[in-house]
Amino acid sequence: MEPIEEQKRIKIAYITADWNRELVSVALGSLMDFLNANPNISVQVFNCFGFTLHSEDSSFRYKIYDLADFRNYDAAIIQAHQIMDDFCLRELGRRIREAGIPAISIGAEMEGCLCIGTDDYTASRYMAEHLITVHGAKTFIYLKGYEHGDEGEAYARRRAFEDACREHGIPEENIIYRVGEWQSEKGAEQIREYLESGAPLPDAIVSANDEMALGALGVLKDAGIRVPQDVLVTGYDDIFSASLSDPRLSTIQRRFNEIIRNACEALLKKLDGKDVPDKLYEPFEPVFSESCGCRLHSASELLTIRRMFYMHQRRLESFYYMQDKLTAGFFAAKNPMEILDVMERYSGIFGSPRMYLYLNDYYADMILGQDGNSRPAAESDMRDFSDKLVLMGYAGGAMGHDGTHVYMRISRGNLTEAALLKKERFGIFYPLFFEGMLMGFMVLTKPPTVTEMNLHESVVNQLVFAIENTRQKTLTEKLNDKLTALSVTDPLTGLYNRFGYEKFANELFADIRERGSRIRVLFLDVDNMKQINDEHGHESGDLALRAISRVIRDSCRKSDFKMRYGGDEFVIITEACDADIKGRIEQSLEKYNSSGELPFPLHASVGDYLTAAAAGETLDDLLTRADELMYKEKTCKKRAAFGK
């Protein structure tokens, strides 16, 4: 879709979460169809991948909603039935009301929002009455969804089931409730626990959604329990997996694509000042199929399933081919910059025309190896998006960076106006986080299919782990280098210490010998050090030692070995060709004394020893000879001073 002029565009924020991935996939596909038919509309979707309710990281996933500043949008759609956090929903409602924009809530009522969805009460009651009146079910397990108090889909579906049972004389003790939290894994877990308890099978397992029902079907099949012969099973939503299950799941078809289309049309009417009802229900259709003992798949259904399964398999083949290359690239990468290179190279794995990767500025500074002024003052601040964001990954067009993957820096408040993003008519935002730290977010420009959405999560997690792993590895290497430097370095002067001598001096000695060069060793001792300490204090003595170390560094080459041998003694190891080093030290000392930085003159005695051409001396032998020459020079100085 080509970009259009900004002044003609209606901007919509779409908030969702994908505990049931297919419903989100259908919603986003329908949203894109609506955009294709209405070129004056753009949508930014804020989504998080699937999660376990009330888990430690669920708050991180919901942080993606904080990026949506509703004051920058003309309208909002909240897929409220997907968001399992009541506080989060209330906050979204408050922010929308403060922004003063029209909004639609899907599947659950929100204050100030038009509500659109399915008549869950009527649909669920229809299914319950079918089980009781047609199949004679009298005992039940009911798998509950997460309920938002006395409202929402989960509450309406459970209440409808209970009312149907009550009106048909089913006593309360014939109903066992289990909380499946909308998830296949939880539904399976609840039924597995029930079977292990040894309690008798009910006549039917009624699930508040297909995901939990499919989890239950799997456990029953593993246990050798036949459906529908031994127990009936029903779901709700008619997701694609329900049509593939064995047996085919009996469920409620919601026509979710129509819900989304009508939600968008209702928003346009509200923006145009037209009246819209506070609540809209879309038609539903019961699917009485194999799992409740009704009809088998029709020929048309089987054909549709075959086609969808073929497309699904082709997408999987393409995905796994690219994932192999992506994984190999991540494994070979030595630092975060190479990880970003790999992600850009294989961004086609998302099936999106373009990919944007934004990182919080403090995290960007961390992977760039910079302390930066952006680093949060407290760890708790790393749990939010920063005020500044850095575009560090981009694919789908030509754009260069400075070699560090810094394409551009933008203000979080200007996100919808960012130079690249504002040209996109569709963008879906996913959060990136790792163990207590919010790293940033990714933006894709095409809605994923249900197959792709399941796969995207694994790729994003792989990317996050790879970036953080290489960052930690780089940090560890730097810390190890620092620790190594500290262990071989004298803390007062910054020159090598005895450990440094053992580690590096012999290497230099051997290297010079291998090149056939002669070796020069200088042994330096500060004159009158005891007098300096006695008359001026040990702090002044330390200043003198640091001054001598600077003189030595300034007088030597970078490749020379320089160390504090102990106390006020220093050693230099270099090649014979550098004959002027002792003279440079003396000149540097004279210059330093003339500067007046110290309240006393600074002098040193230096022993300069040069090996013979074919000498067989060890390095310790050279130090001994240089020390002897230094001692002779110091003795001469003392005699001269005494003679005066």
Is there a cis peptide before residue 277, judged by omega within 30 degrees of 0?
Answer: no
How far, in Å, CA of 570 to CA of 552, rounded? 9
For the chain, residues classed under CATH 3.40.50.2300 are: 117-258+277-302
- Which H or E run contains 628? helix 619-643
Give Cα separations from 303 to 63, 214, 249, 298, 309 (angstroms): 42, 22, 17, 9, 10
Q: What pLDDT sits at residue 3? A: 45
Of the candidates 12, 535, 459, 474, the one whose C-alpha atom is nearest the C-alpha of residue 265 is: 12
How far, in Å, CA of 84 to CA of 69, rounded? 21
Of the candidates 72, 59, 58, the one whose C-alpha atom is nearest the C-alpha of residue 11 is: 72
CATH architecture entry for 498-643? 2-Layer Sandwich (3.30)
Concatenate the DSSP letters of all residues of 186-236 into one string: HHHHHHHHHHHTTPPPPSEEEESSHHHHHHHHHHHHHTT--TTTT-EEE-S
Q: What pLDDT sits at residue 166? A: 96
| Distance in Å from the first CA to the final CA of the chain | 97
pLDDT averaged per 10 residues, the chain (length 644):
55 85 83 90 86 57 90 92 82 93 89 88 96 96 85 89 96 94 90 95 96 95 95 93 89 89 89 86 91 78 70 75 87 88 90 91 81 54 84 84 81 76 88 84 87 80 86 74 74 88 86 84 92 88 91 89 92 82 89 86 91 74 91 86 62
Q: What pLDDT sits at residue 297? A: 60
DSSP conformational letter for 504: I
Helix (H, G, I), strand (E, B) or coil at 114: strand
How far, in Å, CA of 146 to CA of 179, rounded? 8
250 Cβ contact partners less than 8 Å away, ≥ 6 residues apart: 127, 232, 233, 234, 235, 286, 287, 288, 289, 290, 291, 292, 294
* Bridge partner residues of 233 (DSSP): 205
Give Cα separations from 22 to 82, 91, 468 (angstroms): 11, 26, 30
Helix (H, G, I), strand (E, B) or coil at 2: coil
Which two tokens mark 105?
């809530």
How far, in Å, CA of 264 to CA of 117, rounded? 13
Task: Tally the residues of the chain.
Answer: 644
Q: What pLDDT sits at residue 4? A: 41
Averaged pLDDT score across all residues of the chain: 85
Render pLDDT for 223-241 as a digit per residue (tens, 0 to 9): 999 999 999 999 999 988 8
Which two tokens mark 372?
């930066």
DSSP conformational letter for 9: P
Q: What pLDDT sits at residue 26? A: 84
How far, in Å, CA of 410 to CA of 360, rounded? 10
Q: What pLDDT sits at residue 5? A: 45
Q: CA 339, 344, 349: angle at the middle one, nearest 5?
A: 105
Strands (DSSP E) found in 335-447: 355-360, 388-395, 408-411, 426-434, 437-444
How far, in Å, CA of 641 to CA of 643, rounded? 5
User: What distance lies between CA 548 and its chain's CA centroid?
Assistant: 50
CB count within 10 Å of CB 643 equals: 6
CB count within 10 Å of CB 276 equals: 17
How far, in Å, CA of 163 to CA of 146, rounded? 19
Q: Which amino acid is at 594?
A: S
User: Strand order in 204-207's β-sheet?
Assistant: 175-179, 140-144, 204-207, 232-234
For the chain, residues classed under CATH 3.30.70.270 are: 498-643
Q: What pLDDT sits at residue 507? A: 85
* Bridge partner residues of 251 (DSSP): 287
Which two tokens mark 472?
């930690």
Give Cα separations from 18 to 29, 103, 113, 216, 221 (angstroms): 14, 20, 21, 20, 27
Phi-psi region of 336 (alpha: psi -120 to 50; beta: other; left: phi over 0): alpha
- Is 0.75 topped by the overall pTM? no
Q: CA 355, 420, 434: angle at the middle one, nearest 5?
A: 45
Is there a cis peptide before residue 171, judged by omega within 30 degrees of 0?
Answer: no
Of the candidates 47, 10, 36, the one whose C-alpha atom is nearest the C-alpha of residue 456 is: 47
Q: Are strands 41-46 and 10-15 parallel, antiparallel or unpaired?
A: parallel
CATH number of 117-258+277-302: 3.40.50.2300
Q: Which amino acid is at 555?
A: S
DSSP conformational letter for 503: I
Render pLDDT for 131-144 as a digit per residue (tens, 0 to 9): 999 999 999 999 99
Helix (H, G, I), strand (E, B) or coil at 428: strand
CB count within 10 Å of CB 82 equals: 21
